[in-house]
Amino acid sequence: GVYEVLHGTPRLVSSCDNAFFAPPAHAKAASNRVFPHVDQNAHDARFQDEHGRGLADWECFQGILYVWGSGDDHASTTVIWPGSHRGPYDAMMADAKVQRAGKQGRHFTMLESLANREEAARLYGGWKGAARRVPVPAGALLLWNSKTVHQGWRGGPRLAQPVCWEPASRRPEAARERKLRMAALGLPSTHWASLGFPHSMLGAGPGPSEATQAGKDK
């Protein structure tokens, strides 16, 4: 499959995220809440794969499988800033506040969270000029790098399933057990297939010792 090609291995583990649903009666929208963000903070130093590569060097590709298409104006979908996983992402990661958050294990990083307000305003300008709602046909898989600035768009029907596969070499045994516990409770985890972060991040996150265990306790 496509993830085997992206990662160069058939040894993959899957994410356990929740589905996206909005009924056909969901109203069309001319505007939305603005929350552009990335989902990978390069300053979380807790994790390494079995080859010694840290999370900052991992390529993680988020995906959404669209059961219903989003080609109509009356559809909820995803908004992407093409190419923002390069320069704009590096600019975000250079911010002192973002660096502190990453060291605390926080990956969800919004443009508005930057301490440097001038840089945040510059990035917002780039977002406003380049971000696009993505029309996706039914049955298609939309993929983007987790370092890409993106957000959701609510304004119509949607039935889609987030999908992410990562190399098994990244996943510690503790993450596998955590995902099993959450699945047994009917709880989703974030897009990370290898780490098993709960969406709330309250009380069920990885302990500090897992940094040395990732990729070794499989």
Buried b (16+ CB within 10 A) or exposed e, 180-211: eebeeeeebbbbbbbbbbbeeeeebebeeebb
What are the strands of the beta sheet with 132-133, ordered from one edge?
109-110, 37-38, 150-153, 77-80, 132-133
pLDDT at 199: 74
Residues in the chain, pLDDT under 70 = 200-218
pLDDT at 200: 57
Chain centroid to Cα 77, Å, comes to 15
Full set of structural domains in the chain with CATH: 2-212 (2.60.120)
Report the candidate in 214, 160, 216 with the shortest Cα–Cα distance to residue 192: 214
